[in-house]
Structure 1
């Protein structure tokens, strides 16, 4: 049986580990932030402590308890909480990473409650590296492989977002950014367009249709920096 101080220590360690991960989510203003991650980690820690040590008084010759059953329920049950952080915006799905971090925090809490401090610490560090360290690399990859840019020169006052959507056809809903400004040349507008998740063949078809418009004087795809 654990001492009272050992139980308190495990709960405090779980809250510290959960807050470290929750702070990273809080920094990005996600719904599941600092307090949510702390509560999940402390709660799962307390649940495994109760599961492992809370029934010692009733365990006897004819009664056998399996603490791992409670751990399995935590792993599946926290999925309901994670589902509440997932948002659907058109074709985009937001919040999957936060839902996964809640699931990972529950596992960390279970590890701390079981006395596996080294495993819990290693898990916390790895989760933080994944959330904060790998994100810039992931965003750079997405910019290079999932975002397509176009630069146009058009006659002033003729080209518009509606014209672009007509040309883009099935990819019209994937226009991520449309910026038009006057160039140094009289009667010429510079247009910068960004598409999200448009295949190369689709992009080339859009360029071909844009060049066929009388109002477009040039269309190209600048390389992303």
Structure 2
């Protein structure tokens, strides 16, 4: 019991109908958390969840302050119920209680809510960071429900640093990349998309769009390629490789802008 000295326990006798400190049931303590401690844990969970939720709310994500508060408070309550809600069952003989079983379901059960925050449009996936924040807020709630206030507070600080502090660094990295659209003119039927993709030699996430259309006169094909996350040096190399492809007549950069068109869903 030394590891639980910080928890305000009450012990209830299996035979007596009242609560008194130090009573045992079958030589085992029947632990009940005090009402004041329950209230404190739920309020702390709501506070920590709101801090993370505010960071998401200011970026206008669907999962904002209320969602994160509810997740954190709910996870905290699951932990409290898991640890203390079945204590009366210990009065019976040969009864073994696993206090982590109900709380463990939060880890897997929170996934459906995180999935609702993820949006996929083509190859662009947004909302992954918000889904991860919901998952971590559930972990904070479990920590608070278990009485690990320091761990919950420290995790909240670390999460806020990751969400708010690391994002400018991430955006600065992306600012060094460019998004461009290339217009390629080639002899009709001479260039296959597979050959152009091989010449581009890009990662799948860098190739946003690839369209081949025949010119009205039928003498040439017009190929439009949209690319993202490329440096100026990479684009120059791409243009040179495309011009070397047999059948390609011209390669033109029709638009270019700083930044990333893909976004990571933060």
TM-score norm. by structure 1 comes to 0.72
Query: Comparing both structures, which one devotes a greater share of its residues to helix?
Result: 1
1:54 match: 85
Task: Point out the structure with max Rg over C-alpha.
Answer: 2
Change (3 A) 1:165 1:59: farther
2:134 match: 102
SS at match of 1:197: strand
Stretches of structure 2 lacking an aligned partner (at least 5 in a row): 1-31, 187-192, 198-206, 211-225, 244-248, 260-266
1:122 match: 154
Stretches of structure 1 lacking an aligned partner (at least 5 in a row): 151-160, 175-193
Q: What is the total number of aligned residue pairs between the two structures?
A: 191
Change (3 A) 1:149 1:103: closer
1:64 aligns with 2:100: no
Query: CA deviation digits over 1:75-118, x for unaligned, max 9?
Result: 11101110111111221110110110001000000000000000
Q: CA RMSD in A?
A: 3.5
2:183 match: 164
1:71 deviates by 2.2
Change (3 A) 1:51 1:172: closer
> C-alpha separation between the residues in 2 aligned to 1:51 and 1:3?
15
1:31 deviates by 1.1
**Alignment counterpart, residue 209 of structure 2, candidates 161, 169, 173:** 173
1:78 match: 110
**Alignment counterpart, residue 71 of structure 2, candidates 40, 57, 66:** 40
